[in-house]
Structure 1
Amino acid sequence: MRHLMHRHLGKVLAGAALALTGTALMAAITLPAGADAAGGASGRSRPGAVSPSVPGPDPGPPPPGVVEATRPQGERGRGRDPLTDDELRRARDLALPRTRRGAAADVTGRSGPEPLTTDLAEPTPAEAGLADPPRRALVSFYDYRSDTYRTTTVNLTTSKVESTDTQHGVQPPPSHAEAVEASRLLIAAPLGAGLRQDYREATGRDLTGPDPLAVTGFVYRGRAEGEAPGALADCGEHRCIRLFTKVKDGPWIDTRRLVIDLSARTVARLG
C-alpha cells in the first residue's frame, strides 16, 4: 500500500468499467459522455485505453442539386432570437470595463478581464407583450487582478449599459479558455509528472502543452466543499479548478485530485 501511495496521480481510466465514487461534490458532477472515473486511495487506476466508438455508415454525398439552406444572420435579432455574431461582439465591447490599462487581468495575466459568457437577457414584464421588445445581453467577466466576478446588462437597442454587478467569492463554471490554461499550468508543474507519464504511456510521445488534450474544468471552492489542504486555503476567493482530462482520440487520464489555482498560478493536490 505504501508503494501505491507514492505512485503518480495521473491515471488512465479504463472505459466504462469504473464508476465515479466519493463525496457529495463529485455526486453532483456529471462526467463528459463516455468518461468514467474512480477514486482510489492512491488516486491511480490501471492504465487502459478507451475503445473508440464505431462510426456509422457513411451516408455519402447529398443527391445532385440538393443544397442545404442556411439561415442568413443579420446584424440584429428580433424578439427571443439568439444573439447574432454582431450582437455578441457589441455586447461584450459595451460591457468591457473602461479602466486604465493593467487595472484588470485575464486568466493569462494579460490586460483586461477574462470573458466568460454572453447571454440574451429576459425582457422586463412591461416589455413582454411588445412585438419587438428591446434586445438586452447579460455579459460576465472574471478579473484575475482583483478576483472579482462582474456581470453587466447592456441594451443592444440603445447601445447603453443598464446595470453592473461586481462580486467577490463568486465562482461561476470556468470557460474552455480557463480550462486550457489550467492544463497548461498543470503540465508544467512538478505535480503534473503523472499526467506527463501517462500521456507518454498512452501515445509514445512527450506532453509539452495542452493541444493534444481535451479538457473540461469544474470549480473547486476550497473549504466550502470540506477540508482543504493549506495550499488550497484561498480557493473560493481565488479561482481554482479541477480538470477532466482526455487524450484527443485516446484514453482518459484522471487529474481530478489535482487543483489548479488560476489566481495564484499554482498547483496542489487534494488528500
Structure 2
Amino acid sequence: MQKRTAAAMVAAVVAMWAVGWTLGSSAGAENPGAAPVVPRITDPPEAPVPTTGTGRDPLTPTETARARELALAGLTHARPDGPTDVTGAAGPEVLTVRRADGDGTVRRAEVLAYDYRGDKLVKVAVDLTAGRVTGTFAATGMQPPATPREVATAVDLLWRHDLGNLMRERFRQATGVAPATTGELEPGAQTYTGEPCAVHRCVLLLLHRPGEPYVDLTDLIVDLSAGTVVRLP
C-alpha cells in the first residue's frame, strides 16, 4: 500500500512538471508581451584574400601593387631625364594594371602608363612569378581613358585658367548659380585626339553638379601635356 502511494505521488509530480514545462514553452505565444526566443546567427568569417592568383584569375591586390612597383622602378630609374607623371614628378602616370595571358604556370601582368615628358604611352610587361620586368614598349598617338588624378588635374587647370571664368558663367546661365569651388563639381572626362592635341594628352571635361544637367564645355580642351586650356574656334 505504501509503495503504491509513493509511486502515485512520484507520478503526480512528474505530471505537474510536464504541464509546467509545456506552459512555460508556450508562454511566449500566449503572452504577446513576452520577448520571442531568437536563435543566434553569426556571419561566417570572411575568407582571406589570396596574395597570388592562379590560372586565369584576375590579379590580386598584392599582385597589382607588385606589378606597379616593378614597372615604376624600371622606368623611373632608367635615366635622369626619364618619364614624368601628370604632376611633373618622376615616373610615368600609371593608367591601368591588368593580367596578361600566359601558359598558366607563370603569373604575368601588363602595366599601361603615360610618359608626360615624352608624350607617349608605355606598356611594361612584368613576370610576377620571377619578380622582374620582361619588356618595355612605347608608342605615340595612343590615348587610353584618363585616370581620376588626370581628371582632377584637368579640372584644376581649367578653374585657374582665364577660360575658367567662361566655364563658371556657363554654369550660371544653365543653372542660375556659378560654382564657388571645384568641390561642388562632379567631374568626368574623355580623351581628345583632334587638333591641336594630335600628340599631347588632352581631355574634354564633363562637368555638372549632382542632380543638375551637364554644362556644355565641348569647346574647351584641357591640354595636360602643356598644362593649359585651349578654346576651339
TM-score by length of 2: 0.73
- Paired residue type of 2:180: L
Q: SS of the counterpart of 2:65? A: helix
Identical-pair percentage:
38
Q: What corresponds to 2:169 in structure 1? A: 197
Q: What corresponds to 2:224 in structure 1? A: 262
Task: Tell me how far 1:102 sits from its aligned partner.
Answer: 5.7
2:106 equivalent to 1:134: yes
- Paired residue type of 1:95: A
Equivalent residues, number? 191
Picking from 181, 191, 205, the partner of 1:208 is 181
Q: What corresponds to 1:11 in structure 2? A: none
Q: What corresponds to 1:58 in structure 2? A: none
Contact 2:71 2:124 in 1 (8 A): yes
Task: Tell me how far 1:270 sits from its aligned partner.
Answer: 2.1
Q: Which runs of 5+ in 2 are unaligned?
A: 1-38
Distance 1:69 1:183, change over 3 A: farther
Q: What corresponds to 2:58 in structure 1? A: 82
Task: Tell me how far 1:76 sits from its aligned partner.
Answer: 0.9
Q: SS of the counterpart of 1:252? A: coil
Contact 2:119 2:140 in 1 (8 A): yes
Cα deviation, 1:183-233, whole Å, max 9, x if unaligned, reads 111111121223223445748564333x332222212112xxxxx4xxx2x
Q: What corresponds to 1:112 in structure 2? A: 91
- Paired residue type of 2:134: E
Q: What corresponds to 1:221 in structure 2? A: 193
Q: SS of the counterpart of 1:75? A: coil
| Alignment partners' CA distance in 1, 2:41 and 2:218 | 51
Q: SS of the counterpart of 2:221? A: strand
Instruction: Give the structure with the higher percent helix.
Output: 2
Q: SS of the counterpart of 2:126? A: strand
2:67 equivalent to 1:91: yes
| Alignment partners' CA distance in 2, 1:157 and 1:184 | 40
2:143 equivalent to 1:171: yes
- Paired residue type of 2:55: G
Distance 1:110 1:66, change over 3 A: same
Q: What corresponds to 2:117 in structure 1? A: 145
Distance 1:270 1:204, change over 3 A: closer
Q: What corresponds to 1:236 in structure 2? A: 198
TM-score by length of 1: 0.63
Task: Tell me how far 1:255 sits from its aligned partner.
Answer: 1.5
- Paired residue type of 1:160: R
